[in-house]
Amino acid sequence: MTPASIMTFNILSILPILILSGFGMIVLFVDIFSSRRWREKNLLAYVSLLGVILAAIFARSSTGTTLFSFNETFTIDNYSLFFNFIFLLSTGLTILISHSYIRREEINHGEYYALILFSTIGMMLMAAGADLLNIYIGLEVMSVSIYILTGFKRSKLISNEASLKYFLLGAFATGFLLYGISLIYGSTGTINLKQVAGFIASKGGISDPVLLMGMGLIIVGLGFKVASVPFHTWVPDVYEGAPTAITAFMSVGPKAAGFAAFLRIFMTAFGSTHGEWQKIISILAILTMTTGNVIAIAQTNIKRMLAYSSIAHAGYLLIALVAANNIGVPGTLFYLLAYTFMNIGAFAIVIVLSRKGDECIQINDYAGLGFKHPFLAIAMTLFMLSMAGVPPMAGFVGKFYIFSAAIKSGYIGLAIIGVINSVISVYYYLRITVIMYMKEPAREFTPLTISPLIVAAIVISMVGTLHLGIFPSKVMEIAQQATLILK
Amino acid sequence: MITITHYLVLSAILFTVGVTGVLIRRNAIIIFMCIELMLNAVNLSFVACAHYLNSMQGQLFVFFTMTVAAAEAAVGLAIIVAVFRNKETVNIDDINIMKW
Amino acid sequence: MPILSLITFLPVIGVFFILSMDSRRGELIRITTLLVSIVVFVLSLPLYFNFDPRGHEMQFVEKLPWIPSFGIHYHVGIDGISLFLILLTTFITPIAILASWHITKHLKEYMIAMLVLETGMIGVFISLDLFLFYVFWELMLIPMYLLIGIWGGPRRIYAAIKFFIYTMSGSVFMLLAIIALYFLNHRATGEYTFNLLEFYRLELSFAVQFWLFLAFAFAFAIKVPMFPFHTWLPDAHVEAPTAGSVILAGVLLKMGTYGFVRFCLPLFPAASHVFIPVVSWMAIVGIIYGALVSMVQDDLKKLVAYSSVSHLGFVMLGIFAFNIQGIEGGITQMINHGLSTGALFLVVGMLYERRHTRMIADFGGLTKRMPVFATLFLIVTLSSIGLPGLNGFVGEFLILLGAFKSRILYASIATSGIILAAVYMLWMFQRVMFHEIIHEENKTLKDINKREFAILLPLVLIIFWIGIYPNSFLRKMDASVNHLLKQAGGEVQTASHLQTQNVPVTPQIDIVSETETAW
Amino acid sequence: MLNLVSLILLFPLIGSAINGLAGKRLRKETVGYLACGAVGLSFFVSILVFCGLLLLPPEERLFEKRLFSWIESGSFRSLAALQVDPLSTLMILTVSGVGFLIHIYSIGYMHHDKGYHRYFCYLNLFTFSMLLLVLSNNFLLMFIGWEAVGLCSYLLIGFWFEKKSASDAAKKAFVVNRIGDFGFALGIMLIFLNFHSIDFTEIFSAASHGNFETGNFAITMITLLLFMGATGKSAQIPLYTWLPDAMEGPTPVSALIHAATMVTAGVYMIARCNVLYTLSPFTMTVVASIGAATALFAASIGLVQNDIKRVLAYSTISQLGYMFLACGVGAFTAGVFHLMTHAFFKALLFLGSGSVIHALSGEQDMRKMGGLKSHIPTTYKTFLIGTIAIAGIPPFAGFFSKDEILLEALIRGNFIYWSIGAIAALLTAFYMFRLLFITFHGESRVDHHVMEHIHESPKNMTLPLTTLAGLSFAGGFVGIPGASAINHFLSPVFGGHGHAEISGAETAEHHGAGLPYLMMVISTAIAIAGIFLAYQMYVKKPGLPKRLAERFRFIHKLLLNKYYVDEIYDAVFVNQIKKISTQILWKGVDVRVIDGSVNGIARLVGGIGNIFRLLQTGYIRNYAFYIVIGCIFIVVLAVFGR
C-alpha cells in the first residue's frame, strides 16, 4: 500500500469556489453581529455581491488552461469556466433583484445570501465534475440550499408547500440518479467519465443491459433537474410558490447546471454511442417543448406562465443535445446565456410590478402598463419578444443556432416541431405585450418603489439580450472553444 | 455461494419497495423514510459492486451518499416541521393549493 | 459613400432624436419625423439616377462581416427589381406620416414605430444575405403589429395578433429552408456563407428544390396574400390606422411578391416550373374571388383590402408567366398597386377623419360638397381599375400579355378580372360620391385642405407619369429581369432596342407556335 | 403639312386641361369659346391634313408620325405614333366637324347649368380621346382611345350625378363597354402572339402577304374577339342595353357620343382591320348576321317608345346594325359612308330633339307634346330634313348610303340580309315619321304653364342645326353610285375589296346592268310606304294606334318593355353574381371556411392546453407517479429500444 500521498492539486482550479464559500461564511458572521441599522442598509447584499465579483475575476484569469485536479475528478477547462460565468452572472443578478424584494416581503435574513452563494458553489461543482461522484455532490449541495430558499417565506403556506414538493420530488429523483450511477459503476467498474468512455470504446459499444439501464436512470435524474416533460410537474407549483427572486434564480441556475452535467456525461462518457440515447432524448425534447408551450397558453398567473415557458425552453435545449454536433453543444451554451438574461430580466419586472405580498401577479394586472411605466413595458416587451425568438434579440440567435444544429445532423422533423412550437409560444408572449399596450388599465396604478439595484439588473439584462442578439459572434467563438474540450 | 447478482437483486427489491412506499403513503415523514430506504438500497449495490470489482471507489461513494442523506434529512424534516406549523397536518393530500 | 446603409439606418437615428423630445410637444415630433422621412427619400433618389440599367449585377453593394463564425455578412445591394421597391417605400412613408397628422394618442410611440417600420422595410429589400433578410423580415413585423394593435379600430387586438402569428408561422418555415440552404451550400462548396449570390450558383436536386420552394413559397404566399392565406388582410386593414394600412398595402404586401422574384424563382427553377399551374390557379382564383367578394363589401376599407388580393393575384400571375413581359408587368404592377391602393386608403382615411365611419351607406353625393376631392378620388379609382393612360393599365396589360404567351387559358380567365375590377370600384365610387345627399352630416363636409392635397398630389402625378411614360421604369428593369429569367429558365427576350434574337432557354415553355393556338 | 397631325390632338387636350383646372374661375363665355375654339382649330388642321393627303398620289397616302415609345418590354413594343390615311382623315373630319358644331350648340344648351366648365372639360377630353382612337397606328394606342372614350361617356352620362338613374346609367355604360374591352384586350394579345407586333402596317402587310390561309383558326379567333369589343362599344345585340339608358346624359352629349362618334368606333375598328376580316369568312357572316339582327330588333323596339331620345337611341342602334351588315358582307366603303352620313343626320335629329326639350323646358315624353310646328319653326324645318334623310328618300344623304348597303347586301350577301335590311328600313321610316307627326303635328297636348314660355332656341343652337341639315342633304352626293368619290378615296385602305365599281361590273353579268337602279326605286318605295303608314296612323286617324295597341296588346307590351332584356340580364347575371359573392364567397368561404379553420386551430391548441393543464393536480403523489412512469418508459426504451 503506497503511502496515501496527498493528491497534488492546483489551488487556482478551485479558487472561485473557495472565495464564494469564504464570503458565504462572512455573510453569516456579519449577519450575526450586525445591528438592525446595518441590516436596513442591506450591507449583506453588497458583501455577497463583492464575493461574486471576486470569484468572477479569478475565474476569468484561468481561461484557456485545462487543469485536472483531485485525481481527475475535478476539471477546470473552458467548458466549466463558461458555465461558471453563467452561474456567477445569474447569482449576481439574483442578488441585485432580491435586495429590495426580500426587504419588502420581510424575509430579510442574512442566511438568504449565504444560501445563494452556497448553491452557486454546488452548480460550479456540477459543471466542473469530471466524474459522477463530483456531479452528484454538486447537485446535492445546490439542491439542498435551494430547497431551503424555496421555503424562505415561512409564514406563507404556498412557500412551504413549494419547498416540501421540491424537497420530496428532488430527493426522489436523486434516488434514481444514484441508482443509475451505481449501475454504471457496477458494469464499468469506474465512475470517472473518461474511463467509462474508455470502457465503452474497448467493449465496442454498449451491449450490457445494466449499463443501458444506468444510462436511462441518469437521464431520469438529470431530466428532473432540467425539467424535461415527464419530470416537469414540480416546476409550475414550485416556481409559483417560491419567492419570485428565488424563482428567477431557480429557473436559470439549476437548469444551466443540469444541462452542464447532461452535456458533460453524455458527450464524454456516452459520446461514442450517440444512437442509444438520441431517440430517448428527442422524444423527451418533443414532449417538453409541446407541453410547455401548449399549457403556457392557458395560464393566467404570470409566474406559472414563465414556469411553463422555462419548460418549453428546456425542450429547445434538448433538441441541441440530440443534435450533439459541433454546432449543437456551443448552441446550448449560447442559448443558456441568452436565456439567463431574458429570464432574470423578465422576473425582475415581475418583482417590481407585483407590489407587496405578491398580489399583482395575474397577467391582467399588467393592463395599461405600456404608457404608465414606459421603461418597464419596453423592457418586458424586449424580453418577451426575445423569448418568442423574434430577431434582433438574443432568443432568436439562440434558436437559430439550435435549429441549425438540428438540421445539420438531419433531424428535420425535430426542427419543424421546434419551429411550430416557437410559433405557438409567440401567442402567449405576445399576449403580454397586447395586455400592456393595447388594454386600458383595469384599476388605478399605485405608485411603485423601484430600487436602483433592480433597475441595474433590468438594464444589464436588456443590454445582454440586445448585445447577444446583434453582435453574438464573440460569445459564439468562446462557446465553440469551450466545447472542443468535450470531445 | 452468494454472487454479485444476489446483492444486486436485493438492492433492486429494496429500491422498488422504497419507490412504492413513496407512491402509496400519505404521511410526508413516511415518504421521506422511503426515500432514505431507496438511498440505502443504492448504498448496498455500491458496496456489493465495490467488493466484486475489488476497488475502493464504491465504498468511497457510500460515505458521500450517507453524509448527503444526513444533510437532506436535516433540511427535509425542517421543511416538514415548517409545513406542519403552518397547516397542522403532514398529510400530503391536503397540501395542494397550487394546481393547474 | 455607403448610401444603402445610410438610407436604412437614418430612420433609426431619427428615432433617437424623437426619444429625446418630450411627448407633449406633438407638433415638433411630427415635423421631425416628417423631415427624417423626407431626407431618407431625397437620399434614395441618387439610387435611381446613377443606377446603371445595363448591368444585371447588384449595385451599391456593401459587405461587412457580422457573425464571421457563421459566415454571416452585412451584405446589401440592389438591382433593377429591388430599386423601385425601395423608392416606393421611401416615397410612401413621408406621405403616410403626413397622413397621420391628426393622431394624438401616444404620438411619440406612433412616430417611433413608423420610423422603425421604414428601416425594416428598406432592410428587407436591400439585404442580399439570407440571415440579414430574415432578421429584417421579422423586425418589420413588430412595429406594424404595434401600429395595428395600439392605434387601431375596435377589433384591433384580434387583428394584430392574427397578423403577427399568420406571418410568423409562414416565416419560421422559411427560416428552416434558409438553414437547409446554408448547409447544402456548405456541402457543395465547402465554405459557410449565407450569401444569396453564392446560393444562386447552387445546383440542387429536384426533390430538395421542391421542399425548399414549398417552404419559401408558403411564407411569401401568406405575405402576398394569395388566395387561401388572405383572411388576415381584411382584418388588418380594417383595424389599422390610415397610415398603417397605407404602408401595409403600399409596401408590406410587396415583400411577398418580391420574395418570389428574388428567392423562389432563381433559387429553385425546376420546382418553380412544376408549380406554375398551382400558383397560377391560386392567383386566378385570388383575382376573381377578391373582386367578387369586394363587390359586396359594405365597409370601404374591407373593399379596398379585397381589391388588393385581386390586384396581387395579377402580380403573381405575371411572375409565374416566366417571360419578360409577365415579370416586368408584375414588378410595375407592384409599384402601381402600392401607389393606387395607398392613395385609396388615404382617401378612405380622409373620409373617416370627416365622418368617423367607413360604411359606404353613410356616404352619398359628396361630389357636390367636395369637388376637388371627387376628381382626385376618381383618378385614383380609375388607376386601380387599370384604365389605359394611367399606371394600372401598363402593369396589368403586360401581365396579361405575359400570361397569355405562357398559357392562353390562364390569361383569358384572368382578363375577366378587369371587368370585375370596373364593377366593384365604380359601384363603390357611385354609392359614395354620386346621388343626392341623404345624410345631414354630409351637407356640411369641407373639401380637402392643403395638407391632404399635398398628400394626394404626388401620388396622382406619379400615377400619370407611369401611365404615360412607363419606359423610365421599364428600361431600368430589363437587364435584371433577363438575368432572372436566365436563372429561372424562363423565355429570355432582350428588349427590342437591344434586340438580338429571341433566345429560348430550356426547359422550353410551350410558346404558342405561329398558327396553332393551344386553347 | 401632314406632320401637323399631332396638333389635332393637342388642341382639345389643352382645352380640356384649362377648362378642367381653371374653369371655375373663368367666365362662362371664355370657357365656351375656349372649348369650341379648341375643337374648331383641330377641325381646321384636319382639313389641312386632308388636303395634304389629297396631294399625295393615291398609293402612298399613308403617313406615320412617331411621338415617343410608350411601352417596351422584351419583344413587345407599343409606340405612341399617329397614322394618317384616307380612312382616318375621313374619321377625324367627321369627328372634329360634327364635334365643333355640337360644341357651339352646347354653349346655348348648357348655358344655365352650374357644372358648365366641367361639362366642356369632359367634352374636349372626349374629342381628344376619339381623335386619338382614330389616329393611332397600333392596337394598344387605339385601346387607350377606346377606353378613354368609354371613360368620357361615363363622365358625361353621369354629368347630372345627383340623379340616381344618371349615375346608374353611367356605371352600366362603362361596365358593358368594359365587357367588350375584355374581348378587345384578348384580341390584341392574340394578335401579338401570332404577329409579334401590334402595329397596323406590320400586321396588315403580314396578313395580306398570304402566310395565313383564309379561314385560319387564329385569324378567326382574333377577328371574333375584336368584334366582341366592337359590339360592346357600338351597342350591338348582346351588349346594346347601355345605349338607351345613356340618354340620361345632356342631349348634346347623346348627339356627339351616342350618335355621331363614339358608337361608330366599332365600325371604324372593323373597317381598319378589313384585311383580317376578309381572311375569315366565318366572322364576316357573324358580323353581318348580328348587324342585320340588331337593325331589325332595335327598329322594332323603336316603334312604340314614347321618350323622344329613346326612339333616337334605338334608331342609332339599328343604323349601326346597318353599318355592321355592310362590313359583314365586305362592303367596308358603304359601311364607312353610311357612318359619315349617319353622323350628320343623327346628330341633327338629336340636336333637334334637344332644342324641342329645351323649348319645353325639359319635357321628353312625346305624349305631352304635339303641334309645335308653329312655335319652333326652324327646329321643325331642320328636324324634317333630318327625318327625310334618315328615312332614305333621295336625294338626301341617308338614301345614298342606305341604298348602297342594301345593294351590297343583296349582291355580296344573300337575299335574307337584303330582306331584313329592307324591313328595317321600312320600320325606320315609319317610327321616324311617327316621331315627327306626334311632336310637331296634331293638336298640342303641352300643359298650359309649359306652353307660356315656349320659345325658339337661340341663334347659337339653330345655326348648327341648319348647317347639319345642309350636310345631311348634300352629304349623299359624295357617294353617288357610279362616280362615288368616297369609294375612290377609300380604295387604297380597303385594297379594292369594297370597290363599288368592281361590284358594279360583277352585278352586270349576274343580275343585269339595271340592278342598281332597280334597287334605288325599290328602297325609295319602301321609304315612302313607311311614311304613308305613319301618316295614316298618326295624322289621319289618331285613334288607330290605340286600337291596334289593344288588339296586339301582348306584342305592344313586349316591345314597350324592350323585350324585357334588361330585366333578364339583371336576373341572370347581376343579381346572381351579387348573391353568390355575398352568401357563398364572402360569408361562406372567407368567414366560415378559412377564418373558421384558422380560429379553429387556435382554439384547438388552447383547448389542448386546458386539458394538459389538468395533469397538474397539485398532489405530490401524482407527481411522483409521473416520475416513475417516465423512468420506466426511459429504462425500457434504453434497454430494449435499440
**Domain spans, chain B:** 4-87
Look at residue D6 in the predicted model and tell me its pLDDT. 87
How many other CB atoms sit within 10 Å of the CB of residue A309?
25
**Residue ending a domain, choose from D488, D521, D556:** D556
If you average pLDDT over residues C27-42, what whole number do you get?
Answer: 94
- Identify the band that residue D512 occupies on the pLDDT scale cut at 50, 70 and 90: low
Domain of D10, in residue numbers: 1-279
Burial (CB count <10 Å: 0-12, 13-18, 19+), residue D483: exposed
Res B65 pLDDT > 90: yes
Any idea how long chain D is?
642
* D612 to A294: CB separation less than 8 angstroms, yes or no: yes
Query: What are chain A's partners, defined as 3 or more CB pairs within 8 angstroms?
Result: B, C, D
Question: How do the domains of chain A map onto residue ranges?
Answer: 3-486
Residue C144 binned pLDDT confidence (cut-offs 50, 70, 90): very high
Q: What is the mean pLDDT of residues A416-427?
A: 93
- Same domain, residue pair D111 and D254: yes
Q: What is the mean pLDDT of residues C199-221?
A: 93
Handedness of CA B68, B72, B73, B74 (dihedral sign): positive
The per-residue pLDDT for range D366-399, each reduced to its tens digit, is 888 888 888 888 889 999 999 999 988 888 888 8
pLDDT band of residue C69 (cuts 50, 70, 90) is: confident
Mean model confidence pLDDT for chain D? 87
- The x, y and z cell numbers of residue A224, run together, are 428532473
Asked if residue A333 has pLDDT above 50, the reply is: yes
Q: How big, in percent rounded to 5, are the helix, strand and coil portions of chain B? A: 80, 0, 15
Asked whether the beta carbons of C134 and A391 are under 8 A apart, the reply is yes
**Distance (Å, whole) CA D437 – CA D443:** 10
Q: Do D267 and D347 share a domain, yes or no? A: no
Which of D556, D590, D611 is the endpoint of a domain? Answer: D556
Give the distance, in angstroms, between the CA of residue C278 and the centroid of all CA atoms in the same chain. 22
pLDDT band at D216; cut points 50, 70, 90: confident
Rounded average pLDDT over A172-190: 93
Output the pLDDT for position A38: 64
> Is residue B88 predicted with pLDDT exceeding 50?
yes
Handedness of CA A341, A346, A351, A352 (dihedral sign): positive
Does residue D622 sit at the A interface (CB-CB below 8 Å)? yes
Confidence of residue A39 (pLDDT cuts 50, 70, 90): low
With an 8 Å Cβ cutoff, is A83 touching chain D?
A: no
Buried b (16+ CB within 10 A) or exposed e, A213-230: bbbbbbbbbbbbbbbbbb
In chain C, % of residues over pLDDT 70: 94
Looking at per-residue confidence, does D547 or A344 come out higher?
A: A344
pLDDT confidence bin for A311, thresholds 50/70/90: very high
pLDDT in tens, D156-181: 998 988 888 898 999 999 999 999 99
- D93-117 tens-digit pLDDT: 999 999 999 999 999 888 888 888 8
The per-residue pLDDT for D1 is 75
Whether C495 shows a pLDDT value over 50: the answer reads no
Q: What is the pLDDT of residues D612-638, one digit of tens each?
A: 888 888 899 999 999 999 999 999 998
Classify residue A192 by its DSSP letter.
B
Mean of pLDDT values over A400-415 = 92
At A192, list the grid cell. Answer: 470517472
State the pLDDT at residue D501.
42
Name the grid cell of C201.
450558383
Q: What is the pLDDT of residue A2?
A: 58
D512's grid cell: 343585269
> What is d(CA D65, CA D46) in angstroms, rounded to the nearest whole number?
15
Do chain A and D touch: 3 or more Cβ pairs under 8 angstroms?
A: yes
Judging contacts by C-beta atoms under 8 Å, the chain D residues touching residue B19 are 628
Omega within 30 of 0 (cis) for the link into D395: yes
**Domain-located, residue D306:** yes
Contact across the interface for A178 and B42, Cβ inside 8 Å: yes
* Amino acid at residue number C198: E
CA A413, A419, A423, A429 torsion: positive or negative? positive
ipTM of the complex: 0.88
Winning range, highest mean pLDDT, from A1-5, A126-130, C496-500: A126-130
pLDDT at D502 over 50: no
Instruction: Summarize pLDDT for A269-304 with one digit per residue, the tens.
Output: 888 888 888 899 999 999 999 999 999 998 999 999
Question: Does D444 share its domain with D577?
Answer: no
- In the structure grid, which three cell numbers stand for residue D636, read together? 425500457
Residue D310 CA to residue D245 CA, distance in Å, equals: 8
* End residue of a domain, out of D556, D588, D612: D556
Mean pLDDT score across all residues of chain A: 89
Beta bridge partner(s), residue D69 = D79
- pLDDT exceeds 70 at position A4: no
Nearest CB to C435 within list D143, D144, D162: D162
Q: Is residue C503's pLDDT more than 50?
A: no
pLDDT for position C344: 94
- Whether residue D98 contacts residue D470, with contact meaning beta carbons closer than 8 Å, is answered with no
- Read off φ and ψ for residue D307, nearest 5 degrees: -85, 130
The CA-based angle D565-D567-D572, given to 5 degrees, is 95
Half-sphere exposure of D462 (CA within 13 A, CB side): 13
Q: Do D218 and D129 sit in the same domain of this protein?
A: yes
pLDDT at C498: 41
> For a pLDDT cut of 70, what percent of chain A falls above it?
97
* Interface C:D, Cβ pairs < 8 A: 162
- Which among C67, C136, C169 has CB closest to A423? C169
Rounded to an integer, the average pLDDT of C17-33 is 89
Q: Read off the pLDDT band of C399 (50, 70, 90).
A: very high
pLDDT band for position A388 (cuts 50, 70, 90) = very high
Same domain flag for D608 and D541: no
Nearest CA-CA distance, residue D454 and chain C, Å: 29
- Identify whether D284 is part of a domain: no
Q: Hey, which bits of C360-467 come out as E strands?
A: none
Split at pLDDT 50, 70, 90, the class of D503 is very low
Q: Do chains C and D touch (3 or more CB pairs under 8 A)?
A: yes
Distance from CA of B93 to the nearest CA of D (A): 6
pLDDT at position D511: 56
Domain ranges (residues) in chain C:
275-519
D530-580, pLDDT tens digit by residue? 998 888 888 888 788 888 888 888 888 888 888 888 888 888 888 888 888
Q: How confident is the model at residue D474 (pLDDT cuts 50, 70, 90)?
A: confident
What's residue A154's pLDDT? 87
Q: How many CA atoms lie within 13 A of D344 on its CB side?
A: 27
**Domains contained in chain D, number:** 3
Could you tell me the fold of the domain covering B4-87? Helix Hairpins (1.10.287)
The DSSP secondary structure of D481-495, one letter per residue, reads SSS-HHHHHHHHHHT
3-state SS of A459-477 is HHHHHHHHHHHHCCHHHHH
Q: Are D442 and D464 in contact (CB under 8 A)?
A: no
Test the B interface: residue of D620, D622, D628, D639 with most B CBs within 10 Å? D620
Stretch A311-316: mean pLDDT: 95
D450 and D573 assigned to the same domain: no
pLDDT of residue C511: 37
Record: contact A426-C165, CB cut-off 8 A = yes
The whole model's pTM is what?
0.90
Name the phi and psi angles at A326, rounded to 5: -70, 0
Subunits with 3+ Cβ pairs within 8 Å of D are A, B, C
Closest CA to C305 of C233, C385, C391: C233
Interface of B with A in 11-30 (CB under 8 A): 11, 15, 18-19, 22, 28
Closest by Cβ to D585, choosing from C292, C397, C493: C292
